Amino acid sequence: MLPPFQRPKIYLAGSGVYFPEERITNRDLLAKIDTTEEWLDSRIGIRERRKAPAEVNTSDLGALATRVALADAGWSPASVELLVCATSTPDNLIPATASFICQKIGMNPVAFDVNAACSGFVYGLAVAQSLMQTVGYRRALLCTAEKYTRVTDYTDRSTCVFFGDSAATVALQPEEPQLGAEVVDVTMRNYNEGAALVQTPVGGYFMQDGPRTKEIALEAFTSSAGEMLRRHGLAMRDIRAFMGHQANLRVLETVGEKLGVSNGQHWYNVDMFGNQGAAGVITTLCGGIRARAGELRHDDWLLCTVFGSGFTSGSALLRWIDRR
């Protein structure tokens, strides 16, 4: 495999995010399960989650985010050649949720799903980047969309406190944008011996072995982020913003401490949107960029590190572009 600097560069040239309006607060959960607000704050640090209506599918969320990304990039739907949807809560087993997203927007690119659970953004980015560099696609969309509330058992205190619904889409192109980010490197690693520890059975609810999963996740987070930094001769102090999989705030705080991430470097939104599966890290990235647009400087480093069922793990190193 060629090292990243010998392959054609790929850039993020636009983005779109969508959150449903309905909120599930901790107070709402108190009426359903045996818990307290103090326990929820001390153990997970999530205050709210978003919930899509029953009639809204994952593809609806993805289509809404994708429309925003197309407008942000200034692209017409007809110009899109590839759409990869990263999701672990698809509309159906078949066809791909990506196909429904394209149908709802009225476009016909090559379209398919990637399921790496909560690592979907990084794995999907690697797939889209590779196809652009080998097949030659020049306009590609990576959509992360999740409706986890559909597979959440609201009688199970160990899982229902975490999840929310959201979607985010990024537009990818080989030309450097005036404002955007270069995809510098992507790494992936699996821990398949833990495949049975986090599952959503067909027709069933999400379930996990929380303590064992947390143990593996912390090792995977620090290993993946550390590997990416070493590959590029960087230290954490060189990173402008670090975004981890939005599992829960307490896990992210522990990861931050292990990696030496300062408060100013650590971007997250899990406290207000919950664990959004594959969409969490990218909604955090897009929201952080919009909120801090005036603070980011050309060549700033952005690091996304993820962990998901499988187990899957990986990192994406981005370089901020500002030619204005």
Considering the domain architecture, whether residues 196 and 242 belong to the same structural domain is answered as yes
CA pair distance 165, 227, nearest whole angstrom: 31
pLDDT digits (tens, 9 = 90+) for 255-291: 999 999 999 999 999 999 999 999 999 999 999 999 9
Tell me what the pLDDT averaged over the chain comes to: 95
Residue ending a domain, choose from 131, 150, 176: 176
Peptide bond before 109: cis, by omega within 30 degrees of 0? no
Residue ending a domain, choose from 176, 196, 231: 176
pLDDT digits (tens, 9 = 90+) for 197-221: 999 999 999 999 999 999 999 999 9
Considering the domain architecture, whether residues 68 and 149 belong to the same structural domain is answered as yes
Among all residues, which ones are annotated catalytic?
118, 245, 275
Considering the domain architecture, whether residues 24 and 145 belong to the same structural domain is answered as yes
pLDDT digits (tens, 9 = 90+) for 8-55: 899 999 999 999 999 999 999 998 998 888 889 888 999 999 999 999
Residue ending a domain, choose from 176, 194, 210: 176
**Overall domain count for the chain:** 2
Residue 39 is predicted with a pLDDT of: 86
Considering the domain architecture, whether residues 263 and 218 belong to the same structural domain is answered as yes
How many Cα atoms sit within 13 Å of 299 on the Cβ side? 1
What is the mean pLDDT of the segment spanning 141-148? 98
Considering the domain architecture, whether residues 160 and 209 belong to the same structural domain is answered as no
Determine contact, residues 291/274, Cβ cutoff 8 Å.
no
Considering the domain architecture, whether residues 9 and 156 belong to the same structural domain is answered as yes
Considering the domain architecture, whether residues 121 and 259 belong to the same structural domain is answered as no
**1 pLDDT above the threshold of 50:** no
Q: Tell me, what CATH number does 205's domain have?
A: 3.40.47.10
In a 10 Å sphere around its CB, with 0-12 CB exposed, 13-18 middle and 19+ buried, how is residue 11 labelled? buried
Considering the domain architecture, whether residues 139 and 204 belong to the same structural domain is answered as no
Considering the domain architecture, whether residues 43 and 168 belong to the same structural domain is answered as yes
User: Which residues form the domain of 163?
Assistant: 4-176
List 141's β-bridge partners, or say none. 83, 171
CA 247 to chain centre: 11
CA pair distance 236, 254, nearest whole angstrom: 15
pLDDT digits (tens, 9 = 90+) for 110-144: 999 999 999 999 999 999 999 999 999 999 999 99
Considering the domain architecture, whether residues 123 and 35 belong to the same structural domain is answered as yes
